[in-house]
A and B are shown apart, each in its own frame.
Chain A
Amino acid sequence: MNFDYTDEQNAIRDSLSKWAAQQYDFDKRREALKSEDAWKKNWATFAEFGLLAAPLPEEFGGLGGGPIDVSVVAEEFGKALIVEPFVPTVVIGGGALTYAGSAAQKDEHLTAIAGGERVIAFAQAEPKSRWALNDVSTSAKKDGAGYVLNGQKAVVLGGPQADVLLVSARTAGGQRDAKGVSLFLVPKGAKGVSTRDYPTMDGTRASEVYLENVSVGADALLGPADGALPLIERIVDDANAAYNHEAVGCMRMMTDLTREYAKTRKQFGKAIAEFQVLQHRMVDMFMAAEESYSMALRATIKLGENDVERARAVSAAKVSIGKASRFVGQAAVQIHGGMGVTDEMRVGHYFKRTTMLDATFGNVDYHLKRFTALSAKAA
């Protein structure tokens, strides 16, 4: 057994955290959220650091790393509240291409992702699908050698920044059938694609994507026709594993910020940190963050196992972390008192981010059900 990070992984963490301290402090982040293009500069920096190449295969410009490298990056993203679309592009887009892309697709996209020249968003959810990955109404009809896509995609994270969309669409079967789902790489600028961008609860942005008679060639198909659901399950598990680490980073920061605030805030002639009821609450926050890290790490390590074991571990972690982050976020705000509900305090923004993450690719109830169903399969 070995829980140590490699020197390279420690180096990634250090460089990212140093950069964030200098270039991504609270005020600069606020500026970045307001401007349409500030993220591009940050993105170029991430490419320079090798973050965007970290888990990608070496023959396509990657560094040949794996999920642990991703987890290190994600946790630092969480700590610094970095909002650039790392997971949609590198973990989901890069993952799908690595697992199932043709040589030509890998050559075209992976190298560009690693170099910071490609941003991919996952156009998967639909207005009525909630989190069900099999619930796909968007259609892709055979048209000569290619396909024609029609439908609407909902809450596409990273959509405003993306230049390529990874679209799930139905090539066969009924709306909720497991079989008949396929994945397509669609340039956002393709004829018939339109988007409406809007802010999300954590201050980042997302898009509704409308596909109207969008023609793509046969080479847009990524992975097997009609049989992409297992691939979608896998990349979403990868994404959730990364988001779990991001939530851990947020929880650790909330725990630290709350402890520091409680030590300096005085009421009744002493620091509120001296009140036992708050001490115990902060201990519970600390324990929740520690167990969350354990569960996040467990899921990340199990990403390479068979489909059932991988999915069970990710769903288990998503359940633990969803519950823990809600508790930690609410407690952090509560202990900050009135200041906790203001926009000017950092703590509330972590709370909003973890609330956002909980509602991304399935909340606690969703993953509790998934875990239960998978456990029946595993037994």
Chain B
Amino acid sequence: MDLNFSPEEIAFRDEVRAFIEQNYPPHLKGKGLREDLSKEDFLAWHKILGKKGWSAPAWPKEYGGTGWTATQRYIWLEENARGETIPPLPFGVSMVGPVIYTFGTPEQKQRFLPGILSGEVWWAQGYSEPGAGSDLASLKTRAVREGDHYIVNGQKTWTTLGQHADWGFFLVRTDPDAKPQEGISFLLLDMKSPGVTVRPIKLLDGGYEVNDVFLDNVKVPVDQRIYEENKGWTCAKFLLAHERAGIAGVARSKRNVEKLKTIAKAEIGDDGRPLIEDEDFQRKLAELEIDLSALEMTELRTLAREQAGRGPGPESSLLKIKGTEIQQRLTELTLEAVGNYAQPYTRELGEGNEFAVGPDYSRGAAPIYFNWRKASIYGGSNEIQRNIIAKMVLGL
């Protein structure tokens, strides 16, 4: 047992740190509000990494992964958080990509994986429906086979950043008579297909980050189905476990702790001392850091297991719960730290009307606090994650 990096790992860290410093577009450093970014902004770093061959470190080498060890991947995430980069979006690299290389045909791999690696193709997730959230298997979007096509009808929702998407991966019902989990298929769908309508949903923070997606007689070639017909649930479960593993966001939370400390040094508390010297604030910050250490160590143990060939299992639910709780506490503490200047909400101002109110660091605090309430809901709510641990880990 050893928590220290080896000399080789330190050399690796220096290499990636230098690469980020030299290649990351400076104007995109530390952008907090994702939905304000343009499509080009989102993809800029992804495309740079695609050229370098570093866009999907977790993939097997034969499909375009880096062949890094779990420790190297951990270092990679740390360094990206340190450089405040906008990481490649998860929908392609972390979600549909692994499904395609695990369950897809050789033709499908050849057709879809390069666009994911390069960042040329933006993917969106079509999982939840208005009536199927936590109970995902109750989804109703129907796909009827007609010759070499499916005709798809239904509505998906909470499709994150779907307004920019080129392609989507959708769970659809192909056998309405089977048990819920046994009649689902996994389809890849060109978002430009006739009959696809994307409607952005306004959220609590005033932004448009998620979408409804309406499917009206959309024709999808059968060769865009991944894995067997009616076996889509296998892909869905596989994907959800992968999604959860990345959801802990330890490196980003560590970075946000540092940012919070910077705020607390600049902010003068009510007694005239810097907030960072306030004992109540110090205690909350310390508790957060300690809990984050526990999460980090747990994630490292999971990574080590993965390295030993045991993929993410139901334990990844733990990472999702604890990771999102810490992310949310960080947004809360940041909100508290900025005091009464959390109240102005300048992101709601119209074009050309904008002026700065309060210190720079105060402006994202409230929108981010409101926005991150999503974290304990998405990817399977934290209540569902506890059910998974109860059933799959504790055998209750």
Contact = CB atoms under 8 A, between A and B. Distances in A.
Interface in A106-163: 125, 127-128, 130-132, 135, 154-155
Contact of B269 (A130, A198, A267, A334): A130
A78 interface: no
Contacts of A277: 383, 386
B32 interface: no
A249 to B, nearest CB: 20
Interface string B202-231: 111010001000000000000000000000
Contacts of A362: 270
A42 to B, nearest CB: 21
Contacts of A341: 203-204, 370-371, 373-374, 377
Nearest to A343: B202
Interface residues of A, number: 49
A contacts with B: majority SS: mixed
Interface in B357-396: 357-358, 366-367, 369-371, 373-374, 376-378, 381-383, 386
B241 to A, nearest CB: 20
A337 B366 contact: no
A274 to B, nearest CB: 13
Interface string A171-184: 00000100000000
B373 A360 contact: no
A154 B342 CA distance: 11
B342 A352 contact: no
Contacts of B267: 130
Interface in B103-147: 128, 131-135, 138
Contacts of A267: 132-135, 138
A95 B268 CA distance: 30
Contacts of B280: 365, 368-369
B88 to A, nearest CB: 24
Contacts, number: 142
B3 interface: no
A125 B344 CA distance: 13
A356 B343 contact: yes
Interface of A: 125, 127-128, 130-132, 135, 154-155, 176, 196, 198-201, 203, 206, 208, 266-269, 275, 277-278, 326, 330, 333-334, 337-338, 340-344, 348, 351-352, 355-356, 359-360, 362-363, 365-366, 368-369
Interface of B: 128, 131-135, 138, 157-158, 201-204, 206, 210, 267-272, 278, 280-281, 332, 335-336, 339-346, 348-349, 355, 357-358, 366-367, 369-371, 373-374, 376-378, 381-383, 386
Given A199-B346, A337-B133, A344-B201, 15 more contacts: A127-B358, A130-B270, A130-B340, A131-B270, A135-B270, A154-B358, A176-B272, A200-B344, A201-B344, A201-B366, A334-B377, A338-B133, A343-B204, A360-B343, A365-B280
Minimum-distance CB pairs A-B, first 3: A267-B135, A343-B202, A201-B366
